[in-house]
Amino acid sequence: MTKHILEDAAMARRNFLTHGGKLLTGGLLLSALPMGSALAATAAPVPLIIDTDPGADDVIALLLALSARDKLDVRALTTVAGNVQLNYTSRNARMVREWANRPDVPVYAGCARPMLRAPIYAAEVHGAEGVTGVKVFEPKQPLAKGNAVQYLIDTLTAAKPQSMTIVTLGPQTNLAMALIENPGIKQGIKEIVMMGGAHFNGGNITPAAEFNVFADPHASDVVFKSGLPITVIPLDVTHKMLTSPERIDRLRKIGNQAGKIAADILDAYVEHDIKQYGLPGGPVHDATTIGYLLRPDLFKGRMANVEVDTREGLTFGATVVDYYRSTKRPENARWITEGDTQGFFDLLTAQLAKLP
């Protein structure tokens, strides 16, 4: 991470605190990793923090993660502004917690805006409040006290060395700010698994950039330069693992609340991408990330050097992936390019059947 980015981020934080703005709710401001190691290393459930910006596909991802008590020990959900504003992403995460009947999982609200760039949202894809196809409501259980960045700092500095997996399903502002505030949190992180970026596929918010990285490229730059083990689930694979009417119908035929919610949300959500890209079905980007955690054998990829373009211009927010090792720069992330679509949807259907 270059010195000026650190200085700019620190100055932005000071300005927010000095002038009364709120970057955070609550007032605070790789080495190679064998595929599947998160689950293969231990039979015990993987200690996991999910950073999210729900978002329709986030909802499916969270339902999938919260269904898998035997494999994923979800310690908390941390929310960030992304698909929609922070108040909606935080409420939507709490709705999913209620749908999944998981009151044991706290939800912490985090950054309300990106580190440096102007905020952008994706209401044209996810609806004005982040979820379409179902009725939204105010959940009974409130947010946890405090904020997401401080939670990450406190939890990861106290964690056993290399014990926690961090999943990011939206802009990586919370994680980047925690890394800047206290680089010592790296000691507690085993792996970062992120949905974001694009290379072979091209972008979905600009011709070059994927939305999650474009929404806060300076944050993703911090994460990719952290030296932590990273696995990337980019558009290159999510745009291949598509819904179909039959796959959505299988979810509805589970016969429980979770299956119906997932089917209703997907029916509404996938229409945008089907029309936009001429695809035969819609991607379920973030849920694919949880699918990787649960069944890494369904996915293929390889180590590559990944850098984020933070320069203003046509390629702002692009992930520059040296997939063919042209530059000989150090490989800092595992870049996933292939997935077993039917295997993933079979997994999703089987897991959601475990929920109310």
Average pLDDT of adjacent 10-residue blocks, the chain of 356 residues: 47 40 38 45 84 97 98 98 97 98 98 97 88 95 98 98 98 98 98 98 97 98 98 98 98 98 96 91 97 98 98 98 97 98 98 98
Minimal CA–CA distance to 103: which of 112, 90, 115, 94? 94
Is residue 285 flagged as an active site residue? yes
pLDDT digits over 242-270, tens only? Answer: 999 999 999 999 999 999 999 999 999 99
Domain count, the chain: 1
How high is the pLDDT of residue 127?
A: 85
CATH number of the domain that 235 lies in?
A: 3.90.245.10
**Choosing from 126, 218, 239, 285, which is the catalytic residue?**
285
How high is the pLDDT of residue 329?
A: 97
How high is the pLDDT of residue 196?
A: 98
Domain range spanning residue 133?
Answer: 3-352
How high is the pLDDT of residue 161?
A: 98
How high is the pLDDT of residue 296?
A: 98
How high is the pLDDT of residue 11?
A: 53
How high is the pLDDT of residue 1?
A: 41
How high is the pLDDT of residue 123?
A: 84
